[in-house]
Amino acid sequence: MLRVVAVVAVLLVFVYGLVDAIRTDRRATRGISKTAWIVVMILLPVLGAVLWFLIGRPYNIGPAPQPASHPTAPDDDPDFLRNLEARRRKQAEAERLKKLKAELEAKERKLKGESKADDSGDVNS
């Protein structure tokens, strides 16, 4: 039973190390080139994997931060914010014009109503 556990542990270390080496960026490996690390790990499975973890693996294990070529959120995008402000101004102007138009129409109706009353008053006189 102990032999099976040891073989499984060695196999897991080898596979994990090999997959880790394959997935690592070739410019990030330390010591020797990525291809050389893979060859060492295939030829010397346990020793190669241990050496990879001690010597060859890059220091920053997480994904390398990518330079932002464009803003990630809409509120970080200056073009979006500029367009948003322009849209707000246009909407406010449209509402103001709509209100003015309604007031003008109300005044016209009032004037027409007064002129009709005046016209009908002239006829009665």
The pLDDT tens digits for 50-88 are: 888 888 888 765 555 566 566 567 677 777 778 888 899
Tell me the pTM: 0.45
- What is the rounded CA–CA span in Å between residue 93 and residue 87? 10
pLDDT digits (tens, 9 = 90+) for 15-44: 998 898 888 888 888 888 888 988 998 898
| pLDDT tier at 101, thresholds 50, 70, 90 | very high
**According to the model, what pLDDT value does residue 74 have?**
67
Distance CA 20, CA 40 (A): 14
Nearest-angstrom CA–CA distance, 24 and 35: 11
